[in-house]
Amino acid sequence: MNTTVSLSNIELRNPVIPASGTYGFGEEFAALYDLNVLGGISFKGTTREARYGNALPRIAECGGYGMLNAVGLQNPGVEHVVAHELPRLRELYKGVVLANVSGFSIDDYVYTCVRMDKAPEVDIIEVNISCPNVHNGGMAFGTQPEAAEEVTRAVKAVTHKPVYMKLSPNVTDITAIARACEEAGADGLCLINTILGMRIDIRRRRPVLANRYGGYSGPGVFPVALRMVNQVARAVQVPIIGCGGVEKAEDVVEMMMAGATAVEVGAANLVNPMACKEIVERLPRLMEELEIENLTEIIGVAR
């Protein structure tokens, strides 16, 4: 059974990628299993300057259907990441590394992407224009085609590595955003990021999150993510990394049938730290059950 896939001519041993924000820089998970079983790793979202993130509390559970987070892009800043985190990650992991980049202005995106483009440990730059829990940044660039196009063009003008734009589901028409990114030169797309949500503490009569709203992720968003991946796959020609509520190998196959080439696993890592490893181990057996010889043959069959 052949599980290899390719993103912009970069081969992954399988399509399973831990999603940014749910896997840190890999070090914690390396204590549990060999990271090299993974197809890729999208490490913690990185900004130009260090960020503490939003005020506490910033996590809220949503029963068995998922969770809300308003972490607010907490990270040590790109200079620290390039100097310290990436060399350490590369010692632990030899596969494909995706640098997830966020910003609050075009200049921010450009600066951070240039630094990631020069980092030898980075293979693909994943540009987050879809963060729903940071004020005046992130999602502001991902909700209008013109703004998404502007960020994409600016980043592509200063980078040589493949650029994948991470899209927001909190829009009226995600295909319009996807086409704008493709026309501006994006090498690929990643979708979806979290859906804006809210929980209220009925005893305290106030929002659970200090930020009031947060990004909803987990199995409850999977059908929405699958629909959007399918819509975008039918609208563009560039490869897609599908994510949103993926928990098991069956979800990976379903995402690929919808049109994804690779699949990111997010909230599942926070519930079960072994989730990605278990998915990777299950994939070949599932392929045998479904009579799939090569995973690439199922990409977009439901498109």
Catalytic residues: 131
Which single residue is written with the structure tokens 């392929």?
A: 287
How many alpha carbons fall within 13 Å on the CB side of residue 144? 7
Residues in a beta bridge with 263:
16, 242
With the C-alpha atoms ordered 240, 244, 247, 253, is the resulting torsion angle positive or negative?
negative
- Rounded Cα–Cα distance for residues 173 and 215 (Å): 19
Instruction: Show the beta-strand stretches assigned E in the chain.
Output: 5-7, 10-12, 16-18, 40-42, 59-61, 67-69, 96-101, 124-128, 163-166, 188-191, 195-197, 200-201, 206-207, 214-217, 240-243, 262-265
Contacting residues for 250 by C-beta, under 8 A, at least 6 apart: 286
* Residue 284 DSSP code: H
- Rounded Cα–Cα distance for residues 295 and 41 (Å): 19
With the C-alpha atoms ordered 208, 210, 212, 217, is the resulting torsion angle positive or negative?
negative
